[in-house]
Amino acid sequence: MPTSSSTREFNLQPDPRILPMLGEINLPQWRCLAELIDNSIDGFLASRRAEREIKHTEVQVNLPTSDTPSAKVTVRDTGPGMDADTLEKAVRAGWTSNDPVGSLGMFGMGFNIATARLGILTKVWTTRENDAEWYGVEIDFERLVGERSFMCPMLTRPKAEPHEHGTEVTIERLKPEQRQWLSRTANQRRIAKELQRIYSAMLRPDGFPISFKLGLNTTTLRGRQHCVWGEAASPDRTVQMRLGLVNAFQEIDNRLGPRPYCVRCWQWLGAEIPNCPACGKRDAVVQRERRVRGWIGVQRYLSAQEFGLDFIRHGRKIEIGNKDLFYWSDDIGTEAEYPIDDPRNRGRIVGEVHLDHCRVTYMKDRFDRNDPAWEEMVRIVRGEGPLRPDKAREIGFGENNSPLYRLYQAFRRSSPKPKVAGAYAKLLVVPDNERAEEMAQHFYAGENDYQPDTKWYELVEEADRELLAPPAPPTARGPHHGPDIDDFGPPHPGVREPAPPQLIPPPPPPRIPIPSLTQEYRDDLTEIRWNITAFEVAIDDPGLDGRDIPWRFKALPAGGSEFLIRADHDVFGSATLTPLDALLVELAFQALDRQRGNPNAPPFAQVLAGLRDKYGARNSLDPVALSVEAADALTSVARSLRGAIAPADSRSLFDELTPTEQSAVHQKMASRAVKQPQGVIDEGRFLEYAPRRTLLTIIEHHPELFFDGHYWSEEYENLNYNNPLITEEARRRTLEHFLGLLEDAVWLEELDPDDAPLYGRERLLRAALALELLAKVTSPGGDG
């Protein structure tokens, strides 16, 4: 039907009750405060764009310290301020002066939701540098509802300082539940933690897009920065890979060029479209800059939760620790690609990606995955196709040179394969992850000694030294360093024997620091702490007082304690006593020595057990971790034929398998969506899909493909004792030895962790040692 209109108009102004209803939206308290802080940041950014940059950019948040009726929340900034007309519009529900392109906050709905969530009365005061006074407005939700009017008078107050500028938002008559929650110290700490995380990119001297100071009551908040290798004050950490030199800290800065964008509809347009096809407006279309910048890197410790990428819009972190880019999705489904090598599912790839030109939800907790800008970012940071090279080749993807791909190839593992000298440095992994995490807490606390990655790298270097051939044990120096007088016979008759020369005392032997034992220790039962500095020493070290003892604990006059240890002492030739064991025994003794005379002192056994549980986890036999490590080791062996033999030889090997084994290989390929199974066979990769027993059979029948540096460095074909029978016997023993180790690895991989106690500690220890032996003889190029 045709429509017509009359002169009558409908008044569509919202009912005043809409404002308190906005307060029913479940917005966490820290997000309410963040909405107000965002508006302050937008003021700073607007001043920069207008080339009137503010020298001291500060935001101060004050929360109530007690649950009283007069309690209030205040957020004040040193921004440019607003004039009276802008203030009137700024507090109107649903209105915003900010466009969706260059702003973080949205004065309007975000402001009203945040303030209505916390209290009944909101006061806003603002002034510019050249204004004669402050302009203000009071929003009393109860009065507005009662009077059914949105009219609020403009208020003024004098300026204490003519040049001051900024905006102050005060929320009073707090809701009882909010007042009670906000006044608790623990909750204020939670708010501080969240604000430190979401604004961390700007709470630093070189912040982006700006730096500003954020205070909460009497505390200045420090941004929680990432504890990564090779960034800031630390030196570069690089490894040489087949794809080139890979830095553990990958910077990203990709300018994509401007593109038309409708600020009314929040939609990207085609390059040649002058008008928005949705709203038809030409004046709403702007050329919007597109830039993806930031970094991704490798954390100095592994964590099951604390890893992933932070996605940032105009300096504020919208998503923290996001792991979406660690998954590969296609028509078949979605599967995790990282972490896949760690038995506890721990990761360490982190990063900060600034994506200012992508839409976010109105709650500012997620980027819009349907925005084309998101897909552009994914291609820049992650590249096309799977991160796993094998998977990428199987489904036809080419070379990937993205930052995440490079980091993934170089540092995805949490344990080196093979374990040879330099392996830990190449992977940048601290063997004792609990120690690495403990040091990270000092980093986050801002302690200067822990800002560079030096202390972590000392532990890496120590681990690599242990993989070297053991050095000759330190030897004691005798009191005499010249030839014996007897070597020259008796003195000539009548000739006076010369006085023996004055010997210069030799310098004390050098001490070798032991970073893995150097730290603070604490006994929870007696609450005694020790700050230990550990050294490996020789038998004639002055600290041992000339005694042939394996270690010595010594309190230092200036504080702290020394732990001197002789690693070459016979007592450490045992498989059941390590330097760490010695230290923990000594600390348990010292703890109880200080408790002498205390009738309530805990037993020695209880103190020692507590210390071992706290600091000796690195030596525990974890069946879950060992099972994953065994699977990783066997897969590495299976991959060693990839590209190492000709296609015809690989097909011949496959033909040697029984029909049942061949069927098992094809079935595994199908489950992993391998689209070219014959290509996998030709490349020598079919063993990756074969049952483990099939792998052992191939090794038994074709040892020449795996020894003599092909995978293991152990000699087999190169063995030659100039006697065929002896040579053949030596080769047989070598093969049987390795097959035995591999049998233990297969047993471990198939072990149900719940069944581990049934087999006993000795069986588990034997299999664990088999993995160590296999890793130590792996050729440096034999990791597949």
**Residue 383, domain CATH:** 3.30.230
> For 138-142, 177-181, 504-508, 581-585, which range has the lowest pLDDT when averaged over its residues?
504-508
Question: Is 594 in the same domain as 708?
Answer: no
**The last residue of a domain, from among 220, 249, 274:** 220
The C-alpha atoms of residue 277 and residue 267 are separated, in whole angstroms, by 10
CA-atom Rg of the chain in angstroms? 35
Identify the CA nearest to 782 among candidates 628, 680, 637, 682: 637
Question: Is 326 in the same domain as 192?
Answer: no
Q: Name the pLDDT band for 19 (thresholds 50, 70, 90).
A: low
**The last residue of a domain, from among 570, 604, 619:** 619
Q: Name the pLDDT band for 480 (thresholds 50, 70, 90).
A: very low
User: What was the pLDDT predicted at 741?
Assistant: 93
Residue 101 domain-assigned (yes or no): yes
Question: What separation in angstroms does the CA of 200 have from each of 63, 195, 472?
Answer: 21, 8, 50
Does the pLDDT at position 444 exceed 90? yes
- The whole-number average pLDDT for the span 358-385 is 91
Please list, in sequence order, all residues whose beta carbon lies within 8 angstroms of the beta carbon of residue 569, skipping any fewer than 6 positions away: 549, 550, 551
Q: Report the percentage of the chain scoring pLDDT > 90.
A: 50
Q: Report the percentage of the chain scoring pLDDT > 70.
A: 88
Residue type, 157: R
Question: Is 61 in the same domain as 199?
Answer: yes
- The whole-number average pLDDT for the span 65-89 is 92
CB 374 within 8 A of CB 393: no
Which contiguous run of DSSP H or E holds residue 526? none
Neighbour tally for 544: CB within 10 Å: 19
Give the pair of three-digit tokens for residue 648.
């015809």
User: What was the pLDDT predicted at 471?
Assistant: 44
Question: Is 641 in the same domain as 577?
Answer: no
Cis before 176? omega within 30: no
Residue type, 361: T
Higher pLDDT, 245 or 479: 245
DSSP one-letter code for 711: S
Residue 451 domain-assigned (yes or no): no
Judge if pTM exceeds 0.85: no
Identify the CA nearest to 582 among candidates 552, 547, 545, 539: 552
The C-alpha atoms of residue 435 and residue 519 are separated, in whole angstroms, by 9
- The whole-number average pLDDT for the span 23-27 is 74
Residue 483 domain-assigned (yes or no): no
**Beta pairing class for 155-158 and 512-513:** unpaired
Q: Name the pLDDT band for 782 (thresholds 50, 70, 90).
A: very low
Task: Give the pLDDT confidence of 232-272 residue by residue, as tens digits.
Answer: 545 679 888 888 889 999 999 999 888 888 877 777 777 67
Domain that holds residue 291: 238-415
The C-alpha atoms of residue 678 and residue 664 are separated, in whole angstroms, by 15
Question: Is 600 in the same domain as 654?
Answer: no
Does the pLDDT at position 95 exceed 80? no
Give the pair of three-digit tokens for residue 93.
């529900």
Identify the CA nearest to 296 among candidates 255, 249, 329: 249
The C-alpha atoms of residue 437 and residue 415 are separated, in whole angstroms, by 16
Task: Give the pLDDT confidence of 125-170 residue by residue, as tens digits.
Answer: 999 998 999 999 998 888 877 777 777 888 999 998 888 999 999 9
- Classified as helix, coil or strand, 285 is strand
The C-alpha atoms of residue 120 and residue 200 are separated, in whole angstroms, by 31
Backbone angles phi, psi at 301, to 5 degrees: -150, 160
Does the pLDDT at position 714 exceed 70? yes
Question: Is 248 in the same domain as 335?
Answer: yes
Residue 201 domain-assigned (yes or no): yes
Does the pLDDT at position 491 exceed 60? no
Contacts 24+ apart (CB under 8 A), 11-16: 13/150, 14/93, 14/94, 15/148, 16/141, 16/144, 16/145, 16/147, 16/148, 16/149, 16/150
Cis before 339? omega within 30: yes
Does the pLDDT at position 481 exceed 50? no
User: What was the pLDDT predicted at 496?
Assistant: 55
User: What was the pLDDT predicted at 267?
Assistant: 75
User: What was the pLDDT predicted at 502?
Assistant: 62
Give the pair of three-digit tokens for residue 130.
């050249």
CB 200 within 8 A of CB 223: yes
Residue 407 domain-assigned (yes or no): yes
Question: Is 583 in the same domain as 653?
Answer: no
Question: Is 555 in the same domain as 570?
Answer: yes
Higher pLDDT, 679 or 227: 227
Query: Taking each helix axis from N to C terminus, what angle separates 724-750 and 756-776, rounded to the nearest 10 degrees?
Result: 130
State the total domains in the chain: 4
Does the pLDDT at position 777 exceed 70? yes
Task: Give the pLDDT confidence of 586-636 residue by residue, as tens digits.
Answer: 999 999 998 888 888 999 999 999 999 888 876 677 888 888 888 888 988
- Classified as helix, coil or strand, 75 is strand
Residue 212 domain-assigned (yes or no): yes
Question: Is 281 in the same domain as 352?
Answer: yes
- As a residue count, the chain comes to 784
Does the pLDDT at position 419 exceed 90? no
Question: Is 205 in the same domain as 168?
Answer: yes
CB 132 within 8 A of CB 159: yes
Residue 150, judged by CB atoms within 10 A of its CB (0-12, 13-18, 19+), counts as: middle
Please list, in sequence order, all residues whose beta carbon lies within 8 angstroms of the beta carbon of residue 113, skipping any fewer than 6 positions away: 22, 23, 25, 27, 32, 35
Question: Is 660 in the same domain as 534?
Answer: no
The C-alpha atoms of residue 566 and residue 549 are separated, in whole angstroms, by 8
User: What was the pLDDT predicted at 96?
Assistant: 46
**The last residue of a domain, from among 368, 391, 415:** 415
Question: Is 614 in the same domain as 627?
Answer: no
The CA-based diameter of the chain, rounded to the nearest angstrom, is: 145
Mean pLDDT across the chain, nearest whole number?
Answer: 85
User: What was the pLDDT predicted at 467?
Assistant: 81
- The whole-number average pLDDT for the span 745-769 is 87
Residue 123 domain-assigned (yes or no): yes
Residue 182 domain-assigned (yes or no): yes
The C-alpha atoms of residue 103 and residue 79 are separated, in whole angstroms, by 14
User: What was the pLDDT predicted at 203?
Assistant: 95
- The whole-number average pLDDT for the span 186-198 is 96
Does the pLDDT at position 488 exceed 50? no
- Paired residues of 246 in beta bridges: 239
Query: For the chain, give me the number of helices (H) and strands (E)?
Result: 22, 25
